[in-house]
Amino acid sequence: MYQIDDLVIYGSHGVCRVEAIGTLNISGLDDGNTYYTLYPLYQECKIHIPTDTSMFMRPVITFAEAQKLISLIPSIREAADDRGDHRFWEGYYKESIKTHDCIEILRIIKTIYAKNAIAEEQGKKLGQMDEKYMKKAEDLIEGEFAVALGIPKEKVKDYIKSKLNRLE
């Protein structure tokens, strides 16, 4: 069970702070369940979920885990689909994001960067679906890394680039 002030990854909301734990004082809702009240750090909303939820929830990675993940980025292989099937990519992106696994989300980012480079070489633009999932993947990674590294979310890309340049 999480505690008040814990930072967790909750579903597609990304990083959330546990603000309260207890029964809800909402008119017409007295089910006797215990709820977490979560506040996403990068969204304007409040979430009430039962403490025994089946929805995905895990602690935010640590500073050391973030450093390790950054060092692994060069070795993460892009996903490939020789058929170029639009449905394959959408399914792949959705399923990978649902894992909430940082390596899988980093793989999406690397894959879309590679697809974008190919598109640019051909004088084309990245498709809307790829752009949508790139934004989602980057939001999730940047939010979690910002908390783990103790830096603002908008500085995460530069931080990662700087670390990767030192690895080369």
User: How does DSSP assign 8-58, residue by residue?
Assistant: EEEGGGEEEEEEEEE---BTTB-----EEEEEETTSS--EEEETT--S-EE
Do 88 and 15 belong together in one domain?
no
Q: Report helix, strand or coil for 161.
A: helix
Residue 9's identity, in one-letter code, is I
Please tell me whether residues 78 and 52 are part of one structural domain. no
Is 52 found in the same domain as 65? no
The pLDDT confidence band at residue 27, using thresholds 50, 70 and 90, is low
Average pLDDT, the chain: 91
Number of domains in the chain: 2
Residue 28, pLDDT above cutoff 80: no
DSSP secondary-structure letter at 77? Answer: P
**Mean per-residue pLDDT, 90-96:** 93
- Residues 78, 142 within the same domain: yes
Question: Do 80 and 94 share a structural domain?
Answer: yes
Q: Do residue 151 and residue 76 come from a single domain?
A: yes
Domain that holds residue 44: 7-58
The pLDDT value recorded for residue 83 is 65
User: Which helix (H) or strand (E) element contains residue 59?
Assistant: strand 57-59
- State the angle between helix axes of 128-149 and 63-72 in degrees (0 to 180), rounded to the nearest 10: 140
pTM (2 d.p.)? 0.90
Average pLDDT rounded to a whole number, residues 94-111: 95
Determine, yes or no, domain membership for 1. Answer: no
Residue 18 φ then ψ, to 5°: -75, 110
